Structure 1
């Protein structure tokens, strides 16, 4: 889901709202702007799923503008998960679903005529295979590669390999990609590949 809320122009990357035991609806949203800033907002409580925004506004928000958009997104994600307990929308897969929504936003929309590519990763020091996909529509391959990067970040140990891409640069490389490429992040290699080559 991506839609703009109100005059402030935040693009909503994720939102959650549900009915609580007091018969009122509570919810929250996570949004961003093209300049890399992120926002975590609490919707108004109300009597339906659709009355969380009043005239495009919301109850409360916190904004994140870190030196890198990746750091800002990580800080916003942490705050968003913490808020989910207050708004009664948390469940066991909440953080995973929000991470997926961020990656889908970063992968961008489908590009007509873009190549089909496979996404993959492996550990490079020992050559251990990681994972890979079949050829996918371009935006979906970028999404899968972002998912691989997110799920392997803790074991990549980029802090021990300063000559490789850092997390922010790796995410930006994937976001800006327009064809096949390969890069090293810590102990892992990641790629988008043309299966025909």
Structure 2
């Protein structure tokens, strides 16, 4: 299912709730490619979309960094914006990250071999390295799981700043996964990530 587009912005995720009888409020996270936005929707009656003539109330734009830096900054700021709008809860960050992972993975690609997604700490100093892997999945689902590992499961221990120049950076990691049409394997930070035709 394709994501809705408003004024050229592709909406990755949105939250809209009825906070009092027949009164709704909401926010959305959207992109045009390198640029990202957190938008505050118009308040309105039950069933209203939050957009009037494809316009929104106001927005915070993320445009000054690389596409990946803009995306990560917007993702980090989204839960706070949702809370300020009165529609966020403790699951907002996780739900938004899952939506973003599915968005980045792209559409279903019929005919592609099923693959598993996984990651493992690659620092040899760990006696019991952390990691996880999935069962064999359709390619777009496995890519979404790999993005989940990158965006959520290993966000704090990837330590990109400590391995700058040693492994690829976050933008390169994301580009590899987005462009994958089959198995891949790469190191990012102190972790190894993969898509594999058999569980690794």
Task: Give the TM-score normalised by the residue count of structure 1.
Answer: 0.91
Q: How does 1:24-63 map to 2 (within 5 A)?
A: 24-33=23-32, 35-63=33-61
The equivalent position to 2:154 in structure 1, one of 152, 155, 158, is 152
Change (3 A) 1:98 1:23: same
Q: Residues 107-126 of structure 1 correspond to what in structure 2 (within 5 A)?
A: 107-126=105-124
Which residue of the partner structure matches residue 136 of structure 1?
A: 137
- Count, aligned residues: 194
Deviations 1:133-186 (A, max 9, x none): 111000000010111112112112222222101112111111111111100011
Which 4+ runs in 1 deviate beyond 3 A?
none
Distance 1:196 1:87 in 2: 43
Structure 1 counterpart of 2:197, from 175, 194, 197 = 194
SS in 1 for 2:61: strand
**1:166 to 2:177 alignment:** no
For residues 134 and 49 of structure 2, what CA distance do their matches in structure 1 show?
41
Shift of 1:66: 3.4
Q: Which moved more, 1:139-148 or 1:21-30?
A: 21-30
Whether the 8 Å contact between 1:18 and 1:49 is mirrored in structure 2 is: no
Shift of 1:132: 0.6
Is the 1:110–1:138 Cα contact (8 Å) retained in structure 2? yes
Which has the higher mean CA deviation after the structures are superposed, 94-103 or 13-22? 13-22
1-structure distance, mates of 2:76, 2:160: 21
RMSD over aligned CA atoms reads 1.8
TM (normalized to structure 2)?
0.90
The alignment status of 1:183 with 2:186, answered yes or no, reads yes
